[in-house]
Chain A
Amino acid sequence: MKTEQELITKIGTLIKNSPDLHNLEYEVGINLHTTTFFQKTVSKKVLDKGIRVKPVDYLKALVFLDYFTSVIEDDCRICDNIIEISKVLRKEPKDTDVKEDMSEDPSYLSLDTIVADAGLCAKEKGDDYYSIEPNIKNVRERYESLKETVDFKSGSIRKADLYYEAIGQMICDLVEEKTKPQLKEANSRIEVGAIVFTDSIMNILKDTNYRSKVNKMLEDKEYFEASLTALDGLSKEISIENMQDYILKS
């Protein structure tokens, strides 16, 4: 897989052949391809929460939260946390003008803030929680149950048309350039989710040992393990104080 075109075609094919997670449609506000993106990559339970995220981070944050609430945990408490943070930051009373640019509104959080909150959620579980096998057994089971592998060699595979190439481009644009080669090996939606989740954490994870471990796991296509290791590393670094830094930065 040498070119970006091949990558977006592959991811577009993968997403086209993944069943819809739900059938939510939007008469107002949301356009056609974003609707398809939501139907294919973000569960209804996350969308229904109406999380306030800065527009530049919106799609990636939703995929991050979908992975966290479907695999890492089996509930949406993190979404409720985030909503509470937004409420506290939302200083404008209801009768003043709405900000046209959501990136200026502090109640619209950055992806880094959301990732930091995920780290805090993990921290609450206790040290090394996500590196001890009995604890991760349920997590692994959820991951495996969601792993609907697409058989690219099947005669009945639906080929990515130009519309789904654009959807593939949307997915590829979620990750940093250095992570894109990992996407080429993904064969299921949940693997894409794990890669996006890990990539989000790597944006703020500082520990070089953990970073090396995670990068090696990604290269070895151990996407589930990479996601847990990244979260484990983040849980050790994160604190209420540096969480507040992320909020202020955003």
Chain B
Amino acid sequence: MEKNKVVQGGDMFFKDDIKIDDTKIASKLSLPDLPIFSRDELQVIYNGRIFVATKNSTPDAQIKVYTLDFGLEETKPPKEQEEKYFSSKPVNELKEDFIKKCIKGISVLGDDKYPLKDALGTQIGSELIERIEKEYDSKISPANPTPPPGKSLITKLSDGSVFNSYMKDCERILIIDRKVYNLQTIPEYLSIFQQSFKPTFYQEVKKKCASATPEEIHKLLTDNSDKLHRKAFQYVRNKIWYNNRSFKLLLDGIYWIPQFRGKVDSLVSEYQTLIERQIKIDAVKEHLGGKE
């Protein structure tokens, strides 16, 4: 019995009493506002990087909303935002609470002088991490992103962040007002109307899109309106460009058209699960040690 007694600072417990409470592994954490999705302004997420509108001029990355022209500047990457989040006081408190809930038989977590993992060894930590990963495995899988069809001027950011490692279908999106829009290229938009075009003209317009501005495509369509079904004409043309009050987004060398995907809630829920998993694993590593 004495062999199992552990004196930890001013506290004492017995190793035989230390057990993992499996029922608490899946417990929901009251997460503070998540990084990335809590920003209350227009964001473009492209190839793992996050861009926001700015009054500064950025010739290769622009967004025009109504008559106002803005630049698009890359902001703090997901990794940096997540690191700040994971090291924040509220999250550190969540980590402590989680360990206390999951590990029966201890009442304190130790401190820098008497860390708990030194008293317990790392086996229990490794075991708990395994159980956490098993609990969450069915809910996640590594992201396998398809590179977006730009001109590769903006390289893929593989920063090891939770967001870039696991979030799916976020290679080219725009977020505003808690809504997600997929970014379509102009040829992708035109493909909706393929049957409304004369075939050779359709191919001509698609080819032109590789280098043309929306204004130039507008002119091409207007000058050849007889090669497009009359009822589709306005719908095809006006979303690409109509006049100086039209929307325009230039990034990675091509122009994009936002298409509504849905509310951001499903992405937030998915990210929340991933963040929760990471916090739990980090909690174990920090307080109990375990597999790296």
Contact = CB atoms under 8 A, between A and B. Distances in A.
Interface in A118-174: 158-159, 161-163, 165-167, 169-170, 173
Given A28-B192, A169-B68, A97 B230 contact: yes
Contacts, number: 79
A100 B239 contact: no
Contacts of A100: 222, 225, 233
B258 interface: yes
Interface in A205-239: none
Interface of B is mostly: mixed
B226 interface: yes
Contact of B181 (A32, A102, A163, A170): A32
| Residue among A32, A97, A166 facing the most chain B CB atoms (10 A cut-off) | A32
B238 A29 contact: yes
A1 interface: no
B12 to A, nearest CB: 47
B230 A33 contact: no
B67 interface: yes
Chain A interface bracket (under 10, 10 to 19, 20 to 34, 35 or more): 20 to 34
B39 to A, nearest CB: 9
Interface in B209-242: 222, 225-226, 230-231, 233-236, 238-239, 242
Contacts of A32: 65, 174, 176, 181, 247, 258
Given A25-B260, A98-B233, A167-B66, A162 B54 contact: yes
A31 interface: yes
A33 B40 contact: no
Contacts of A102: 234
A147 to B, nearest CB: 22
A163 B176 contact: yes
A240 interface: no
A98 B192 contact: no
Interface in B60-101: 65-68, 70
B177 interface: yes
A167 B236 CA distance: 24
B25 to A, nearest CB: 35
B259 A27 contact: yes
Interface residues of B, number: 35
A163 B43 CA distance: 10
Interface in A16-74: 25-36, 55
B53 interface: yes
Contacts of A27: 192, 259-260
Contacts of A28: 192-193, 235-236, 239
Contacts of A34: 247
B234 A162 contact: no
B68 A162 contact: yes
A202 B246 CA distance: 28
Interface in A169-186: 169-170, 173
B234 A29 contact: yes
B66 A166 contact: yes
A166 B177 CA distance: 14
Given A27-B259, A97-B230, A161 B40 contact: yes
A29 B176 CA distance: 19
B181 A98 contact: no
A134 to B, nearest CB: 41
B66 A169 contact: yes
A158 B41 CA distance: 9
B139 interface: no
Contact of A98 (B53, B230, B258): B230
Contacts of A165: 68
B239 A166 contact: no
B154 interface: no
A162 B225 contact: no
A33 B65 contact: yes
Contact of B239 (A31, A97, A162, A173): A31
A170 B65 CA distance: 10
A162 B260 contact: no
A108 to B, nearest CB: 12
Contacts of B231: 98
B143 interface: no
Contacts of A170: 66
Interface in A65-124: 97-98, 100, 102
Interface of A: 25-36, 55, 97-98, 100, 102, 158-159, 161-163, 165-167, 169-170, 173
9 contacts: A25-B260, A29-B238, A29-B239, A30-B238, A32-B174, A97-B225, A97-B230, A100-B225, A167-B66
Interface of B: 40-42, 53-55, 65-68, 70, 174, 176-177, 181, 192-193, 222, 225-226, 230-231, 233-236, 238-239, 242-243, 246-247, 258-260
Given A27-B260, A98-B231, A166-B68, 4 more contacts: A28-B193, A32-B176, A162-B65, A162-B70
